[in-house]
Structure 1
Amino acid sequence: MTMNIRLATREDVSEIVRLLADDDLGKKREQYEDPLPKAYYSAFEAIDSDRNNLLIVAEIGDNIVGCLQLTYITYLTYQGGKRALIEGVRIDSKYRGKGVGKIMLNWAIAKSKEDGCHLVQLTTDKKRPEALEFYKQLGFVPSHEGLKLFLE
């Protein structure tokens, strides 16, 4: 399986939203329709113009089979350190369990290290226990308790 990982383009937004909506949780919060709501394109433009954000897609042939967002956060702790946050990891349901996620995550970890990060962090919904196990297999440890406050 030959896979290409690259920065997403505006033309990829529809396929990325398709991936985001391709599970039980995503179906409840995404609007994968034609045409896509303009908010997705506005979000893409904001991400694409921010040097601390990378939106990545994985391709096999002409098909986008995975995506993730890598965000760099510079902060004062760790002596002015920088960490990477991985979000929005999705793999096409036809390709789950075939190594696509592992390749993408290893790429993101290597890119984070190359760009000067000392730590990579991510969260996963507690309703996705298989994702938690997958991340543990890659070396992530559940060292912190994460909390979220939805502002809706």
Structure 2
Amino acid sequence: MEKIVETSLLIREAREDDLPELIAMFAADDLGGHGDTNDPAALSGYARAFAAVAASPDQTLYVAERGSEVVGTFQTMITTSLTARGSSSMIIEAVQTRGDMRGQGIGARMMEFAIAEAKGRGMRMVQLTSNAKRKDAHRFYERLGFKPSHLGFKMALK
């Protein structure tokens, strides 16, 4: 049986009514280790985070939509630093393609969109981090032209 893949993909800013699909996508990610959950008791935390991102002029949460379904997401953040002569960069985070939709070019389209946004806004660079365990994701990002250049460190505070 041949799988038919619809190719139309809309990338748009996320809306609050996308939260259930976004939460489900993150909760299904066993490798991420962020503790995401579909538990209704956690919804208020997600809603607070969504409101904070939506209110920020330097952050945008996007979804990739195929038909009427959210099939991917990513978030961008703009940061300006005194280094590099005061230039600005775009950070891409929380990149996720729904598990059953991987391998269909959705992630590449989301990254192309983010890169085009960064270029259009005159950013010096785009950068992202990826969980060290995500070897497939690392190969994906390198195919898109990203170079592993820095070693990241994190400290959990909660």
TM-score under structure 2 normalisation? 0.92
1:132 equivalent in structure 2: 138
Residues 96-152 of structure 1 show CA distances to partners (whole Å, capped at 9, x for unaligned) of 011000000010011011112111110111111111110000000001111111112
Gaps of 5+ in 1: none
Partner of 1:66: 72
Seen in structure 2, the aligned counterparts of structure 1 residues 126 and 33 have a Cα distance that, compared at 3 Å, is same
Number of equivalent positions: 152
- Give the drift of 1:29: 1.0
Q: 2:13 aligns with which of 7, 14, 33?
A: 7
Aligned AA for 2:124? H
Gap runs ≥5 in structure 2: 1-6
Identity rate, percent? 38
2:32–2:131 Cα contact (<8 Å) kept: no
* Structure 2 CA distance for aligned equivalents of residues 75 and 58 of structure 1: 30
Deviates further, 13-22 or 74-83: 13-22
The residue that corresponds to 2:108 in the other structure is 102
CA distance in 2: counterparts of 1:113 and 1:19, whole angstroms = 28
* 3-state secondary structure, aligned to 2:64: strand
Aligned to 1:50: 56
Aligned CA distance change for structure 1 residues 26 and 33 (closer, same or farther; 3 Å):
farther
Point out 4+ residue stretches in structure 1 off by more than 3 angstroms: none
What is the TM-score normalised by the length of structure 1? 0.95
Q: CA RMSD in A?
A: 1.3
Superposition pairs for residues 21-100 of structure 1, below 5 Å?
Answer: 21-26=27-32, 29-34=35-40, 36-100=42-106
Instruction: Please give the secondary structure, in 2, of the residue aligned with 1:42.
Output: helix
